[in-house]
């Protein structure tokens, strides 16, 4: 299994590779701009060249980008919706410049308009982006969510609905977050519940659509719909679920990326990744 972590881009996107190498990443997730701002500085050709050179030097890949937390393409308010589409297009173009294959996004929040209205709003935005060819061939990975507030994507059926509404399946996949699906009510803790959860995913969406995993334990209980990440094996999910996942031959080549809490020295990343590797039989 290719394991990695979300790494900081402080000092420039190319700097993430040295940090990834420090914690023994084989794959890696980054932001491609400041995730708390709508607009980022343009990616200069020199930084793009450094990024590609560092990737070649370290051999870390694929790199996955997570979009800004500000983006909400399910928003009913036109101003926020248009602003979100523009920001997402910018992120797709940045990924294309960096030769990053995947851009992970949460499927938005309906903020009171209702689930179906929110999903349709998200779908209209995605269709518009794909029909314009923005960022091709970068694939958008819809991330499973915990379902906090009015967030969409906490049921497999909601993601399936987006695939129904958006016909551009060559540019769409799924990122499964273990903390999120557990908080949303999908159990992983025993061989039986693990099998049932992925049977439900396969029946609803198809396992072939999973292009990335976020491996996070959960501070909160099954079905809590609260998104709080914990270190591997130190939360409500527990080690057995991760042992089942990292030994599942169906996901042998799927990037598995941790987003667990960490301090500046990154020792926690080293420990979590070492633990995951130790579970592989």
Q: What is the pLDDT of residues 227-262, one digit of tens each?
A: 999 999 999 999 999 999 999 999 999 999 999 999
- Of these residues, 46, 57, 69, 164, which one is catalytic? 69
pLDDT tops 90 at residue 218: yes
- Residue with the two structure tokens 């050709």: 45
Q: What is 3-279's CATH number?
A: 3.20.20.150
Tell me whether residue 110 is one of the annotated catalytic residues. no
Tell me whether residue 177 is one of the annotated catalytic residues. yes
Q: At what angle do helices 191-204 and 239-246 cross, to 10 degrees?
A: 50
Are the C-beta atoms of residues 210 and 255 closer than 8 Å to each other? no
Confidence class for position 48, pLDDT limits 50, 70, 90: very high
pLDDT tops 90 at residue 1: no
Are the C-beta atoms of residues 276 and 260 closer than 8 Å to each other? no
Binding-site residues for Zn(2+), in ranges, read 66, 106, 143, 177, 180, 214, 227, 229, 259
Tell me whether residue 189 is one of the annotated catalytic residues. no
Tell me whether residue 170 is one of the annotated catalytic residues. no
- Of these residues, 122, 227, 236, 269, which one is catalytic? 227
Strands (E) located in the chain: 3-6, 27-30, 63-66, 102-105, 139-143, 172-177, 210-215, 217-218, 229-230, 256-258
- Of these residues, 26, 90, 143, 269, which one is catalytic? 143
Tell me whether residue 6 is one of the annotated catalytic residues. no
Spell out the domain ranges in the chain: 3-279
- Of these residues, 122, 180, 186, 269, which one is catalytic? 180
Q: What is the mean pLDDT of residues 29-41?
A: 93
Tell me whether residue 259 is one of the annotated catalytic residues. yes
Tell me whether residue 36 is one of the annotated catalytic residues. yes
- Of these residues, 94, 155, 161, 229, which one is catalytic? 229
Binding-site residues, in ranges, read 66, 106, 143, 177, 180, 214, 227, 229, 259
* Angstrom distance (rounded) from CA 41 to CA 122: 26
* Angstrom distance (rounded) from CA 254 to CA 270: 20
* Angstrom distance (rounded) from CA 279 to CA 281: 6
* Angstrom distance (rounded) from CA 156 to CA 144: 8
pLDDT in tens, 68-119: 999 999 999 999 999 999 999 999 999 999 999 999 999 999 999 999 999 9
pLDDT in tens, 123-138: 999 999 999 999 999 9
Q: What is the mean pLDDT of residues 141-154?
A: 98
Per-residue pLDDT at 59: 98
Tell me whether residue 168 is one of the annotated catalytic residues. no
pLDDT in tens, 97-111: 999 999 999 999 999
- Of these residues, 19, 66, 121, 161, which one is catalytic? 66
Q: At what angle do helices 45-58 and 78-98 cross, to 10 degrees?
A: 60
Q: What are the backbone angles phi and psi of residue 100, rounded to the nearest 5°?
A: -85, 125
Tell me whether residue 231 is one of the annotated catalytic residues. no
Give Cα 142 distance to the centre of its chain.
7
Confidence class for position 22, pLDDT limits 50, 70, 90: very high
- Of these residues, 6, 19, 106, 155, which one is catalytic? 106
pLDDT in tens, 154-210: 999 999 999 999 999 999 999 999 999 999 999 999 999 999 999 999 999 999 999
């Amino acid at each position: 299994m290719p394991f990695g972590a979300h790494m900081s881009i402080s000092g420039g996107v190319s700097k993430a590779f040295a940090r990834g190498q420090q914690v023994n990443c084989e794959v890696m997730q980054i932001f491609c701009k400041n995730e708390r701002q709508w607009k980022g500085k343009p990616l200069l050709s020199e930084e793009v060249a450094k990024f590609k050179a560092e990737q070649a030097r370290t051999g870390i890949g694929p790199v996955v980008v997570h979009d800004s937390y500000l983006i909400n393409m399910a928003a009913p308010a036109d101003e926020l919706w248009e602003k979100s589409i523009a920001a997402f297009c910018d992120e797709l173009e940045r990924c294309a410049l960096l030769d990053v294959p995947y851009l992970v996004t949460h499927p938005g929040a309906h903020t009171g308009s209702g689930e179906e209205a929110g999903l349709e709003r998200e779908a209209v935005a995605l269709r518009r982006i794909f029909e314009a060819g923005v960022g091709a061939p970068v694939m958008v990975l819809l991330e499973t969510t915990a379902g906090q507030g009015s967030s969409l994507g906490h049921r497999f059926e909601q993601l399936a609905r987006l695939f129904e509404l958006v016909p551009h399946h060559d540019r769409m996949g799924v990122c499964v977050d273990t903390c999120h699906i557990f908080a949303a009510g999908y159990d992983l803790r025993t061989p039986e519940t693990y099998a049932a959860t992925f049977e439900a995913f396969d029946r609803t969406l198809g396992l072939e659509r999973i292009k990335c995993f976020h491996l996070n334990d959960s501070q909160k209980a099954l079905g809590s719909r609260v998104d709080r990440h914990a270190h591997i094996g130190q939360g409500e999910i527990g080690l057995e679920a991760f042992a089942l996942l990292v030994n599942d031959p169906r996901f042998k080549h799927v990037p598995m990326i941790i987003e667990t809490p960490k301090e500046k020295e990154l020792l926690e990343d080293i420990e979590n990744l070492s633990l995951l590797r130790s579970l592989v039989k």
